[in-house]
Amino acid sequence: MSRLLTAATAAFALALAACGPQVDPAQQKAFDSCSASAASQAPNTCRPGEVCADMAQIEGLGNAMETCMTNFGYNYDESKTGCQLPPPYNARYYQLKSDVTCYSSRTSK
């Protein structure tokens, strides 16, 4: 179930990316690598068939994504449309950190 959820999330992200702003292929490649790494660092603890929101996993994924993208030379960019972060106690704070369109290259500024 966890793999199915991960695959569904990835497919949804790709579908959204197709409709939204274009992302540099190098940035997308870094993001894909970070997604795989973050998923292994913050596994979903929900039981198969259970509908739940694992807040520790959501936070872990967001933090791991931001750290990894920073290591690849990209910073989270709140100046981009739709990327303004709510307070950290809001789960969306961490979910937005898993949005490829919210990152900008440090070298392009």
Put simply, whether the predicted model's pTM sits higher than 0.75 gets the answer no
Spatial distance between the Cα atoms of 106 and 51, rounded to a whole number of angstroms: 38
What interhelical angle do 2-19 and 25-41 show, nearest 10? Answer: 160
Domain locations in the chain as residue ranges: 2-108
The per-residue DSSP string of 7-47 comes to HHHHHHHHHHHHHS----HHHHHHHHHHHHHHHHHS---SP
Radius of gyration of the chain, Cα coordinates, nearest whole angstrom: 14
- Dump pLDDT digits (tens) for 11-56: 445 455 455 667 889 999 999 999 999 989 888 888 888 888 888 8
